[in-house]
C-alpha cells in the first residue's frame, strides 16, 4: 500500500487492505508498469498487468501472492 501511495500520491490511509481492487484506485499502464517492476525487483514476482487489474485483486490478495512466492504461505490458488 505504501508503494501505491507513493506512485499515486494518495495517502496510505485512503487505501483499504481488503478492498476495493487495486485497479479501482486509478491503476493505469504507467502505474501498472511501475508496480510490476517493483514486485519483480523486491520479491522476484513476475505478475502480469492483467492480474494487477483484476477486480478481485485487493492489497490483501496481492500480499498473499507475494507471501506464497516467498514461501511464507503454502502455494496454491488461482492468482499465481
Compute the average pLDDT of residues 42-55.
94
What predicted TM-score, i.e. pTM, was given to this entire model? 0.84
37 touches 52 (CB < 8 A): no
Note the pLDDT of residue 73: 81
Q: Which CATH architecture has domain 2-70?
A: Orthogonal Bundle (1.10)
What whole-number percentage of the chain has pLDDT above 90? 79
Query: Residue 75 above 80 pLDDT?
Result: no
Note the pLDDT of residue 76: 65
Which sequence spans correspond to the domains of the chain?
2-70
Determine the Cα–Cα distance for residues 36 and 52; give it in Å rounded to an integer: 8
52 touches 32 (CB < 8 A): yes
Amino acid at each position: 500500500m505504501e508503494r501505491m501511495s507513493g506512485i499515486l500520491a494518495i495517502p496510505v490511509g485512503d487505501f483499504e487492505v481488503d478492498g476495493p481492487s487495486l485497479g479501482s484506485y486509478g491503476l493505469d499502464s504507467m502505474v501498472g508498469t511501475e508496480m510490476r517492476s517493483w514486485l519483480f525487483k523486491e520479491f522476484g514476482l513476475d505478475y502480469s498487468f492483467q492480474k494487477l487489474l483484476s477486480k478481485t485483486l485487493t492489497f490483501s490478495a496481492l500480499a498473499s501472492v507475494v507471501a506464497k512466492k516467498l514461501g511464507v504461505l503454502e502455494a496454491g490458488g488461482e492468482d499465481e
